[in-house]
Amino acid sequence: MLVLSRKENESIVINGNIKIVVAGIQGGRVTIGIQAPRNVAILRQEIATKPLRLPTEHAQQEERT
């Protein structure tokens, strides 16, 4: 893992087309801004690591009725 230090309003660029900016720092929280192409999925880790819940056949039948 690459670890970088950035101050407020400083940024890093990934692959030439993804920009991550430290938008603010308050207490123990950092606010970031992300600019990326629309085809790049940006998810919080707790969302990205959840198992994908596909609709069951039973649920699909209930939706039709």
Asked if pLDDT for residue 54 goes beyond 80, the answer is no
Whether 17 contacts 25, CB under 8 Å? no
pTM (predicted TM-score): 0.69
Confidence of residue 35 (pLDDT cuts 50, 70, 90): very high
| Residue 21, Cβ density class (10 Å: 0-12 exposed, 13-18 middle, ≥19 buried) | middle
Confidence at residue 49, expressed as pLDDT on a 0 to 100 scale: 85
In the sheet that holds 29-35, the strands lie side by side as: 11-14, 18-26, 29-35
Identify which has the larger pLDDT, 4 or 59: 4
User: Does the pLDDT at position 38 exceed 70?
Assistant: yes
Q: Tokens 């920009």 belong to which residue?
A: 19
| Residue type present at position 17 | N
What pLDDT sits at residue 61? 59
> What is the SS3 assignment for 33?
strand
